[in-house]
């Protein structure tokens, strides 16, 4: 039906609340091409997390439709990986066992040793070699988020959905993790959708930034980011990057005024 990995078509959603209906998404359309990485920014409460739940198949939209690889999303599927602001790791499992969890859930065909090898490989990529046998509480927040990214990717999902995954981290740790994300993507491509409040993060990680309007959210503005791939943090200080960031900042202001 389409060559896009993620296709959100004319999606509207209204929550029923005690104080009446709350429209959150209004005929929202977004397309993410295969192996593309789209960042979604917008005012707090405009419906971004709602959007991730719709893509993950945890909820159905009131109207419109969500498609992954040309198939309509009606329920959660194993080809989607997710990571959130607060990584929920199981304290009774080691880091390695936490990372391997999705393989158990989706009933992976890998042998036990291949599963371990896969988890070790990802943990090495994010710099967690030597921490495989620790418990989550023995790790820093940044390390836990690294482990949670490994867990989201361990079963080689075609789509990775990230809902403010670095929001709770300090600025330096966050920048480290941006580079980790680039390394992970380079190693094995996936289609990504990143929700963030950090405009620099959106420009650094994505090839397309979508600014949502205030609630109910529509796609207010789309910015294409050139030269994806090999990026260094210095690239965020070039005149082109600063122009893009100003552009986005202006659009966010417009969106907030509508809220
Ligand atoms: N299950 C629910 N029932 C009723 N209202 C909800 C529900 N989930 C979210 N909402 C409301 O819908 C609106 C959008 O919520 P959502 O979590 O999608 O926003 P968001 O853009 O992710 O916000 P933030 O940037 O603060 O994370 C908010 O006003 C929220 O209170
Ligand atoms: Mg949210």
pLDDT tens digit string along 140-157? 999 999 999 999 999 999
Q: Alpha-carbon distance 165 to 185, whole Å?
A: 16
Name the percent of the chain lying above pLDDT 90. 75
pLDDT, residue 187, reads 87
- Looking from the CA of residue 16, the nearest atom of ligand 1 is 4
Determine the average pLDDT of the residues in 12-26. Answer: 95
212 CA: nearest ligand 1 atom? 21
Average pLDDT over the chain, rounded to an integer: 92
Ligand nearest to the CA of 25: 1
Q: What is the pLDDT of residues 154-191, one digit of tens each?
A: 999 989 999 999 988 889 889 989 999 988 888 888 99
Output the residue whose Cα is nearest ligand 1's atom 16: 47
Name the closest-CA residue to atom 13, ligand 1.
45
- Write the pLDDT tens digit of every residue in 87-110: 889 999 999 999 999 999 888 888
Domain ranges of the chain: 4-79+159-258, 86-157
22 CA from centroid of ligand 1 (Å): 10
pLDDT of 1 above 60: no
What pLDDT, on a 0 to 100 scale, did the predictor assign at position 229? Answer: 59
Using DSSP's 3-state secondary structure scheme, residue 156 falls into coil
In CATH, what number does 4-79+159-258 get?
Answer: 3.40.50.300
Specify the pTM.
Answer: 0.93
Q: Give the pLDDT of residue 55.
A: 94
Integer Cα distance of 152 and 255 in angstroms = 31
Query: What pLDDT shows up at residue 2?
Result: 53
CA 45 – ligand 2 centroid, Å:
7
Residues 6+ apart with CB under 8 A from 190: 35, 81, 153, 156, 157, 158, 159, 160
Give the pLDDT band of residue 259 (cuts 50, 70, 90): low
- What is the SS3 assignment for 255? helix
Higher local confidence (pLDDT), 79 or 201: 201
Ligand 1 test: best mutation among 8, 17, 18, 22, most atoms within 8 Å of CB? 22
Q: Which residues contact 217 (CB under 8 A, 6 or more apart)?
A: 24, 25, 26, 28, 42, 46, 47, 48, 51
The answer to whether the CB of 15 is under 6 A from ligand 1 is yes
Report which ligand 1 atom has the smallest distance to the Cα of 217.
21
């Amino acid at each position: 039906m389409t060559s896009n990995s993620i296709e959100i078509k004319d999606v509207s959603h209204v929550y029923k609340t005690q104080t009446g209906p709350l429209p959150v998404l209004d005929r929202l359309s977004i397309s993410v091409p295969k192996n593309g990485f789209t960042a979604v920014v917008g005012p707090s409460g405009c419906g971004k997390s709602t959007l991730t739940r719709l893509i993950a198949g945890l909820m159905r939209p009131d109207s419109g439709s969500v498609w992954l690889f040309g198939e309509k999303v009606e329920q959660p599927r194993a080809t989607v990986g997710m990571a959130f602001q607060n990584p929920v790791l199981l304290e009774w499992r080691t880091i390695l066992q936490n990372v391997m969890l999705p393989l158990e859930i989706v009933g992976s065909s890998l042998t036990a040793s291949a599963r371990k090898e896969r988890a070790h490989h990802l943990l090495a990529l994010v710099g967690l070699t030597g921490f495989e046998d620790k418990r989550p509480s023995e790790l820093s927040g940044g390390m836990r988020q690294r482990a949670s990214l490994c867990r989201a990717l361990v079963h080689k999902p075609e789509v990775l959905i990230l809902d403010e995954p670095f929001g709770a981290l300090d600025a330096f740790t966050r920048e480290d993790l941006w580079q980790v994300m680039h390394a992970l993507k380079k190693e094995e491509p996936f289609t990504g959708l990143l929700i963030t409040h950090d405009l620099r993060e959106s420009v650094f990680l994505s090839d397309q930034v979508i600014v949502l309007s205030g609630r109910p959210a529509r796609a207010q503005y789309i910015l294409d980011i050139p030269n994806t791939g090999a990026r260094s943090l210095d690239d965020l200080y070039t005149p082109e990057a600063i122009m893009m960031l100003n552009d986005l900042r202006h659009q966010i202001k417009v969106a907030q005024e509508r809220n």
